[in-house]
Amino acid sequence: MTHDVTQDAELQDLYRELILDHARSPRNFGRLNNPTHAAEGINPLCGDKLKLYLKIDADERVHEICFEGSGCAISVASASLLTETVASLTVTEAEAVIESVTTRLTHGSAVIKNEKLYALDGVRKYPMRVKCATLAWHALHAALSSQNTTATTE
């Protein structure tokens, strides 16, 4: 099997465009009225701040999810991708995705089922950016755990 540098570059360009698209036009952006779960996330080093809102139904499934806040392109894109990924998952499935994504971004070893999330791989080269990419995922874990705390990257 040969390694195709051109194909890798094209894939990186595609992922970069996906991140920019989600940063410019975040999906599920806004406040959710009467959420059953919510959590804040703060990255003090970059200035990223977000709040996740979820409605979990009686079957322990994410019925609705959205976020609001401000931050760098990576943070906003990651939160946007998160909302698309976990919508309609069970709490257990969502927790498994959180584990996979955060492990992949911090250690590079986990397999992720949603191929779009591989767009976040580029941040692994920049440890400070890993915190931007994982912020929303830590906030989601806090929300699903019903922790009344603010998730932070520190």
- What are the residue boundaries of the structural domains of the chain, listed by start? 5-152
- Which residue from 121, 15, 29, 42 is spatially nearest to 68, judged by alpha carbons? 29
Cα 69 to Cα 79: distance, rounded to the nearest angstrom: 10
Each residue's pLDDT tens digit, 44-96: 988 999 999 999 999 999 999 999 999 999 999 999 999 999 999 999 999 99
Least confident of 18-22, 28-32, 44-48, 82-86: 44-48
Half-sphere exposure of 134 (CA within 13 A, CB side): 24
Q: Does domain 5-152 have CATH number 3.90.1010.10?
A: yes
CB of 45 within 8 A of CB of 149? no
- 0.85 surpassed by pTM: yes
Burial (CB < 10 A; 0-12, 13-18, 19+), residue 72, is: middle
